[in-house]
Amino acid sequence: MTAALAGKALLFLGCTALGVLRGQGLRQRAACLQAFRRVLAALARELAFSLRPLDQLMAGAQEGSQGPVADFFQACCQAFAAGGRESWADSWATALEATPLPLTPEDRRLLREAGDVLGRYDGESQRAALEALLARLEDQGAQAQAEAHRLFRVYLALGVAAGLFCLILL
């Protein structure tokens, strides 16, 4: 009797946990976009006021970030160092594909555009392109934040409903 009750409780909690995890994935996406926005804004400021090489700026971006975004910049720097004559755009695209980021394909496409600009033009052109990208990235981040806020409760309710449904079936 107690084993059956414990099993039902675990089944209900498991379904609820699936809903919570799905909702957390949406929050992680919003946080990742916000972190990319902060780092790219700092990079744009550095391009405007500094004459440091891009590899040093990327290393600084890696140190100024945390979590998956720091992993991305580390992979980007490693891909550039390992590639020898590989461009920053290629290193950026390689790191974007290799790093597990909680992003949608649309988010990745937007970030890929940032990599296409880096290292190809003069500092002012790169800064202007990054500023335009930052505005689009801010819109994408705000949309992700609103979606996470709205859908977290939906996924939680679906998890609870699935748990209750499974309990009724037993």
For residue 109, count CB atoms less than 10 angstroms from its CB and return exposed for 0-12, middle for 13-18, buried for 19 or more.
Answer: exposed
Mean pLDDT, range 106-118, rounded to an integer: 83
Please give the distance of CA 119 from its chain centroid, rounded to a whole number: 22
Which parts of 50-122 fold into alpha helices (H)? Answer: 54-63, 68-83, 88-98, 105-117
- Range with the largest mean pLDDT of 50-64, 121-135, 149-163: 149-163
pTM score, whole prediction? 0.79
65 or 109: which carries more pLDDT confidence?
A: 109
Confidence (pLDDT) at 159: 92
Q: pLDDT category, 110, cuts 50, 70, 90?
A: confident
Q: Amino acid letter at 140?
A: Q
Of the listed ranges 27-31, 86-90, 131-135, the least confidently predicted one is 86-90
Residue 132 pLDDT greater than 70, yes or no = yes
Confidence (pLDDT) at 155: 92
- CA separation for the pair 154, 23 (Å, rounded): 8
124 or 13: which carries more pLDDT confidence?
A: 13
Contact 48, 124 (CB under 8 A): yes
Confidence (pLDDT) at 157: 92
What is the token pair recorded at 24? 């957390």
Confidence (pLDDT) at 17: 92
Contact 102, 28 (CB under 8 A): yes
Number of Cβ within 10 Å of residue 88's Cβ equals 21
Confidence (pLDDT) at 62: 64
The 10s digit of each residue's pLDDT in 58-87 is 767 766 677 888 888 888 888 777 766 567
